[in-house]
Amino acid sequence: MTNRKIPDGMRIEGPLEPRFDEILSHEALAFLAKLHRRFEPRRRELLAARVSRQQRIDAGELPDFLPEAHAIRESDWRIAPLPAALERRRVEITGPVERKMMINALNSGADSYMADFEDSSTPSWRNQVQGQINLKDAVRRVITFESGTKNYHLNQAVATLQIRPRGWHLDERHVTIDGQRVSAALFDFALAFFHNAHEQLARGAGPYFYLPKLENHREARLWNEVFLAAQAALGVPSGTIKATVLIETVLAAFEMDEILYELREHSAGLNAGRWDYIFSAIKKFSRRRDFCLADRGQVTMEAPFMRAYALELVRACHRRGAPAIGGMSALIPIKNDPAANERALAGVRHDKARDARDGFDGSWVAHPGLVPLALDEFVKVLGTRPHQRERVPEGRCATADLLDFRPERPITEAGLRNDINVTIHYIGSWLAGTGCVPIHNLMEDAATAEIARSQVWQWVHSPKGVLDDGRKVDASLVRALVPEELRRVESVIEATGAPTGTYMQAARIFERLSLEPDFTEFLTLPLYEALPEEAAT
């Protein structure tokens, strides 16, 4: 982009494709630059604090409820009233900001659609900016998509739109301001808010967001300050933005009341982001010799630490008049196998029925075909009510409940192979530009892939990483299995007619991340740097 189109001090390395200039206008970029210059120093402080906290955990410190926040946890306060558009969220569908996906999700019959710039999207320059174009068109109800002879367009009634920007830990490598990369979170938020907030309000909804990967209330406070500054800059009334925080880190689970409190003017509740939560537990305690989780398939919402986390989230939300939204079952409909499909649907029914009984006000699905099924389970409990926020689970969760990391067994060769296979398959697809992939009849995104690759690292490095047949999971075993699972992945990809070029690279990346002595905090950090540069079209 030429200097005359961008603010002073800003540099954009990505190509300018058709309609990109609508999103990357001088005014929008100036708004982004204003937010960056004000809040980037604080973001970097908070990321440095994450490193310090991890070092203390590695040295033996365990998380606990904050004694200095006792008054916030025990006093009576409630979040600000919710807009009508967010009162009913029994079923929310999630998915990447691809054009066809957005249309199908908005038309799905779900109460809400979370347009995802994060875990289900490969954050290439093209994907991120085109996603903003798609978002802009969807808000104005002019989004269409043609595939062969079929034309996709929005129905008369559509789901309420919510937007998930990327997390605080990620940068947008294609944009620098004063020589610094901008925060990916601010890049996604700023462009979405600048182009759509007033239009959303004019259409009876508003700028609604999902906030990922927060680790504590100070990170929530930063978002609240960003919201106040953004609303003031664009003349949007304070408190108009509403945001749901994903509780998907084990540290945030100890600060749910405080997170709601920091965002109380802008809060739309909390969501139980289960897959990232499991990954967070493995990541945070990966250096502890007494910590080890069983095969991924054994770590369900019935596991003690997951059960405690879910009920505490409902309790924290409903005490404050806030929505509590359940997480995602990875199961999806299965074509051409009625018996397997019925087992998958039964699993989803069980998952959503448990969420509804536990007091959640709604839950997530990843496929339009699952919306009626999930809705039915919530209607059984809610009837005609839009939510059940009047239900507050009794008792309080203890620290030990949230740290009751079971099951530890079994760890099996089949589980190890599955982790290797899924991670190679997912990384290969991610590098090819697809961040949400059906693998072995489960919908895998960055969060589920993170569990798979972090488990392998932890089993290699933990004395408890022993298979049920007595073999230790070690570097030699992993190296022996990687080529075998790569061949299986490539055979699946070849059967679809898709190119297999990125999967050998994916296997190399997986092996390095699994065996290196230091744990890589997020899979997407090295993958982002491995994405090829994009040429203008």
* CA atoms of 292 and 179, how far apart (whole Å): 42
The three-state secondary structure class of 46 is helix
Residues 6 or more apart whose Cβ sits within 8 Å of residue 462: 286, 289, 291, 292
* CA atoms of 31 and 46, how far apart (whole Å): 22
Give me the residues paired with residue 144 across strands.
Answer: 153
Q: What are all long-range contacts of 45-48, with beta carbons under 8 Å and residues at least 24 apart?
A: 46/168, 46/218, 46/219, 46/222, 47/168, 47/169
Largest CA distance in the chain: 66
For 167-229, the DSSP string reads PTT-EEEEEEETTEEEEHHHHHHHHHHHHHHHHHHHTT---EEEE----SHHHHHHHHHHHHH
Is 164 in the active site?
Answer: yes
Is 445 in the active site?
Answer: yes
Q: Are 490 and 506 in contact (CB under 8 A)?
A: no
Pairing of strands 437-439, 362-365: unpaired
Pairing of strands 242-247, 91-96: unpaired
If you count them, how many residues does the chain have?
537
* CA atoms of 473 and 478, how far apart (whole Å): 7
Options 99, 164, 354, 389, the catalytic residue: 164
Residues known to be catalytic: 164, 445
